[in-house]
Amino acid sequence: MTLTTITRPPGAPAESHPLDGENPFVGYAYSYPHKSAYRALDPPVPLAEAWANERRDGLFLYAHLPFCEVRCGFCNLFTLANSGSDLVAPYLTALRAEAAAVRAALPDARFARVALGGGTPTYLDEGELAKLLAILSEVLGADAGALPASCEASPATMTAGKARLLRDWGVTRLSLGVQSFDEAEAKRLGRPQRTAEVRRAIGHVRDAGFPILNLDLIYGTPGQSLDSWLRSVDEAIATGAEEIYLYPLYVRELTGLGKTHVEPNDGRVAAYRAGRERLLGAGYAQRSLRMFAKPDAAGADAGPAYDCQSDGMVGLGCGARSYAGPLHYSTEYAVGRAGVRAILTDYVHRDPADFAAARHGHRLAPDDRRRRFVLQGVLQSDGLDAAAYRRRFGSDPLADLPQLAELTDRGLAAWDGDRLKPTPAGLERSDQIGPWLYSPKVAALMAGGPVR
């Protein structure tokens, strides 16, 4: 066999590598694949069939409430702002019908974790929120109120009554989307809020006795200085929050900032490093690019065992994802107001029998199931458990995905026994590493996915 050596013409620049470059913020890698890769399932897949060969004794239950008081300028989630009362009541009726269909299809399902997200669940008034919690109780049965449960909230919609209602039901983690303690910065994010309102909401959460308070902050806001950013970080630390998430600003298509062609400032790397140093110095442990948590946070690891790499997720509500082994499914996805409202209108008018089947989703190929497992490990501080990978797939991760060796070659990961753990430089470049590990097929589907 003859080996051919390809040489670069004299003077030609070296080819750049996807993990090179000064900007590590390529794309927010929080699920694989993103819903933009989903397509119509033809024919629809009955839920009983989708879950027939999957374990159902330790599932994650997620309920999606796609309503907000305002859509922030950076938000590309499936949600509708200022929807009025015409959709909330019928939405809860449809959600109850979907919950009944799911329970009928999975009568033996048991759950290990619960989350309410959106959108903003606390957009609902207390009566509506009580109805939402009652629907979840019907699905959870005897486990209602006994499992680790998380709920997202905005400062503007968090009242003392809602905080007590959620805590009494059993919510253990309350996540507040603060983004900034600086009113001018929040306004530039398309999020008009008063700092006094933020502090009042934090007080409601503390008074209600949630074991875990999480605060979300965003860096890269136009006009944000390093000093103003660190003031927000310091104020978050001063609250005693058990978790603090630091999010880099992304400006994406059809969002408020995207429509006005606003771009993040060029100080995101410096802001991340300074925020990380401040949190580590305050005793927080880094779990991922975004997540910092107090090591002794009460209740952080309570409840039944759950492994996101192997245990499934059941999503309830328009926009909620479900993971049934290789089949990921949801309703359609959109960002623009007209597209979101059209999908929501279809959901609330759906025949209850239609909830018994998955109609829109993506069936992961074996290669993508392996990539997903790797992504869920190597982007976390605990790293990729190679032994667990071998037990799951009967092969070695480096043999299946040779490019992983480049992470160690570039100092972005290192082996600790049988775990491939990201280095500090690797965590910093998580949003480069994630898209770099996507399969070409999934990347193409996501690039061409509907964003209406």
399: domain CATH number? 1.10.10
Residues 416, 281, single domain; the answer is: no
**Mean pLDDT calculated for residue range 242-256:** 93
Q: Which residues contact 97 (CB under 8 A, 6 or more apart)?
A: 350, 352, 355
Model confidence at 299, in pLDDT bands (50, 70, 90)?
A: low
**Is 0.85 topped by the overall pTM?**
yes
Q: Which residues contact 108 (CB under 8 A, 6 or more apart)?
A: 56, 57
Residues 148, 284, single domain; the answer is: yes
* Distance of alpha carbon 169 from alpha carbon 116, whole angstroms: 12
Model confidence at 85, in pLDDT bands (50, 70, 90)?
A: low
Residue 283 lies in a domain: yes
Domain's final residue, options 277, 293, 309: 293
* Distance of alpha carbon 347 from alpha carbon 318, whole angstroms: 7
Lowest mean pLDDT among 230-244, 358-372, 436-450: 436-450
Residues 254, 387, single domain; the answer is: no
- Residue 3 has a pLDDT of 26
Residues 107, 195, single domain; the answer is: yes
- Residue 18 has a pLDDT of 87
Kindly report whether the peptide bond that precedes residue 119 is cis, defined as omega within 30 degrees of 0: yes
Match 């570039």 to its residue by tokens.
410
Residue 308 lies in a domain: no
Residues 280, 383, single domain; the answer is: no
